[in-house]
Amino acid sequence: MGEFRKEDYIAQLSIDCVIFGYNNNELKVLISKLSYGEDLWSLPGGYILQTESIDQAASRILIERTGLDNIYLGQFRAFGSSDRIIGSEYREVVRAGLRDFAAKKFDDEAIDWVTSRFVGIGYYALVDLKKVDPKIGEFEEFLKWVSIEDLPNMTHDHNEIVEKAHKSLRQNLDEKLIGFNLLPEEFTMREIKELYEAIYDKKFPMNNFQKKILGLDVLERLGKKYTGAQNRAPYIYRFKS
């Protein structure tokens, strides 16, 4: 573990990433269990190198954590209250954890820098959960997919960041057609409907939903999915290239 050099990074500006996945009809979020403190959870994130743009930093962090590139990644909001981090109930716990767990990497000056007020740039990513190979950071015990309905209390304002990311995902779902990034390459209409229901947390009548989705003219119909009763088998679709 090399020494942390704060001069390599832009001061008081950070990236916080909400990585959404979808599995078993549930919208899930990738969160990290920190190696220090007692049951501390956090969103994946990091700092911005002096040599990179904000978008480049977010892409780098996502690749480091998921092993995937060329995935949907969108900036949705900045979090910059006047007491952000410095007014957090978790600040002293984080300071003590860094002092004990990472003494060789963080001196007191570096700890002061890391736990000063930061403006957080929020990004959310949409990934095929089955393709993700989660990679832990230096101060993480493990990464875990958790249903958005079952998130633990996380450090600082990270629960609020997830809430705002979820709201942005709902607002952009139809306009940008981004929800298809959560599905495999080929899918049925029922699978699309179940995804929408998980994101919006409500049911949609199939007839109206199918008419709406087909009206967007973004799907290519491939054929029927074999079920043993081909006359009742659902059609398989994929997103038009």
Same domain, 141 and 52: yes
**Quick one: which of 216, 177, 215, 173 has its CA closest to 198?**
173
Look at residue 15 and tell me if it is in a domain: yes
Question: Is residue 226's pLDDT more than 70?
Answer: no
Q: Does residue 52 lie within any of the structural domains?
A: yes
**How many domains does the chain fold into?**
2
* Rama region for 73: left / alpha / beta (φ>0; ψ in -120 to 50; rest): beta
Q: Are residues 85 and 202 in the same domain?
A: no
The answer as to whether 132 is a domain residue is yes
Using an 8 Å Cβ cutoff, are 143 and 31 in contact? Answer: yes
Alpha carbons 80 and 76: distance in angstroms, whole number: 13
Overall average pLDDT of the 199-206 stretch: 94
Q: How confident is the model at residue 210 (pLDDT cuts 50, 70, 90)?
A: very high
Taking only Cα atoms into account, the Rg of the chain, rounded to an integer number of angstroms, comes to 20
Query: Does 239 score more than 70 pLDDT?
Result: yes
* 221 and 110 housed in the same domain: no
Question: Residues 149, 222: one domain?
Answer: no
Range of the domain at 215: 186-239
pLDDT digits (tens, 9 = 90+) for 112-151: 999 999 999 999 999 988 888 888 887 889 999 999 999 9
Q: What is the CATH number of the domain that holds 109?
A: 3.90.79.10
153 and 223 fall within a common domain: no
pLDDT at 197: 95
In this model, does residue 2 exceed pLDDT 80? Answer: no
168 and 228 co-located in one domain: no
